[in-house]
């Protein structure tokens, strides 16, 4: 909600000044697609930091057998995870960000 208030305030649509953070993290996103169809199960949430190789999600069949594991390609942060449970081969399942650094406003 704070982000929405900041945008509305900076556009003059609401009272108040935009509140800036001291630093902002810059990332480079990598999109992971499913190789198998089945059911998507997230093991990480947006904003979580992960190490290379950490399990972010799995794709299972309707019996719960793991068909595919989605792992962090490098150290970084989870930016987005799929919310729709069913997946087909080629569907987007995770966006993972490599932390490039920080900037100051």
CATH numbers and ranges of domains, the chain:
22-103 (2.40.50.100)
pLDDT mean values, one per 10 residues, the chain (105 residues): 80 80 88 96 96 97 96 95 97 94 86
Output DSSP code: residue 8: H
For residues 103 and 21, the answer to whether their CB atoms sit within 8 Å is: no
Which residues lie below 8 Å from residue 3, measured CB to CB, with a gap of 6+?
A: none
Q: What is the dihedral of CA 76, 82, 85, 89, to 10 degrees?
A: -90
CB 56 within 8 A of CB 43: yes
pLDDT given for residue 4 in this prediction: 85
């Amino acid at each position: 909600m704070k982000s929405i208030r900041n945008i509305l305030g900076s556009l003059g649509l609401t009272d108040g000044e935009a509140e800036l953070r001291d630093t902002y993290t810059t990332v480079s996103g990598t999109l992971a697609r499913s190789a198998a169809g089945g059911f998507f199960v997230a093991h990480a949430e947006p904003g979580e930091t992960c190490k290379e190789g950490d399990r972010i999600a799995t794709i299972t069949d309707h019996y719960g057998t793991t068909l595919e594991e989605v792992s962090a390609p490098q150290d970084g942060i989870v930016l987005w995870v799929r919310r729709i449970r069913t997946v087909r081969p080629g569907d987007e399942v995770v966006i993972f960000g490599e932390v490039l650094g920080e900037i100051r406003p």
